[in-house]
């Protein structure tokens, strides 16, 4: 269905509903709304002015949301060709990329937890707690690698 054929009210309702779900999962409210709006755009690209208009929010609110979304790696900022205006893009493989980056974060957590285990003593209650946490994240890293590989294969099969 082409964008022009869509019910704008229904699209807006979807954006707010998806944003509400992201907020329940821990996203700040405004970044959740901006991200949802970008996800609902066929091109995945909107300017600050377009986001402000669609969400009925200030440019400052868009800027703050985009700062958060950029830091989390869910969107990128780029220059509109031939213009000084910025536009924001949500990645097509946003969830895959997000999980791949999460893997890097988990590796850093394991390193810190192992250091903490050594610092507190591996036989102490706190040291054992940190060791179990590190083991959990090491397990998750291994599972995540396999999961991402299976997703690649699944996506390739879907593409035919």
Give per-residue pLDDT as tens, 111-157: 999 999 999 999 999 999 999 999 999 999 989 889 889 998 999 99
What are the strands, taking DSSP E only, across the chain?
A: 45-47, 75-79, 86-90
Last residue of a domain, one of 68, 90, 112: 90
For the entire predicted model, the pTM comes to: 0.79
Quote the CA–CA distance of 9 and 125 in Å, as a whole number: 55
**For the chain, what is the mean pLDDT?**
91
Q: Are strands 75-79 and 86-90 parallel, antiparallel or unpaired?
A: antiparallel
- Same-domain pairing of 102 and 144: yes
pLDDT at 49: 93
pLDDT digits (tens, 9 = 90+) for 7-52: 989 999 999 999 999 999 999 999 999 999 999 999 999 999 999 9
**Exposed, middle or buried, 43 (CB in 10 Å: 0-12/13-18/19+)?**
exposed
Number of domains in the chain: 2
Instruction: Identify the CATH number of the domain in which residue 39 sits.
Output: 1.10.10.10
Residue with tokens 């985009």: 66
Q: In the prediction, which pLDDT does 107 show?
A: 92
- Within this chain, do residues 76 and 109 fall inside the same structural domain, yes or no? no
pLDDT bin (cut points 50, 70, 90) of residue 3 is low
Domain that holds residue 51: 3-90
> Do 81 and 13 share a structural domain?
yes
Instruction: Choose between 144 and 98: higher pLDDT.
Output: 144
């Amino acid at each position: 269905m082409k964008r022009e054929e869509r019910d704008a009210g229904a699209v807006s309702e979807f954006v707010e509903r998806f944003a509400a779900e992201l907020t329940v999962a821990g996203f700040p409210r405004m970044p959740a709304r901006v991200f949802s709006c970008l996800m609902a755009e066929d091109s995945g690209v909107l300017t600050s002015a377009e986001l402000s208009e669609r969400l009925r929010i200030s440019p400052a609110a868009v800027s703050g949301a985009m700062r958060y979304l950029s830091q989390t790696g869910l969107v990128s900022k780029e220059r509109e060709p031939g213009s000084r205006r910025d536009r924001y893009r949500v990645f097509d493989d946003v969830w895959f990329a997000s999980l791949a980056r999460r893997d890097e974060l988990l590796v850093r957590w394991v390193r810190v937890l192992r250091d903490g285990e050594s610092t507190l003593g591996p036989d102490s209650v706190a040291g054992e707690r940190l060791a179990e946490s590190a083991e959990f994240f090491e397990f998750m890293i291994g599972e995540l690698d396999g999961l991402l590989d299976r997703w690649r294969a699944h996506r390739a099969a879907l593409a035919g």
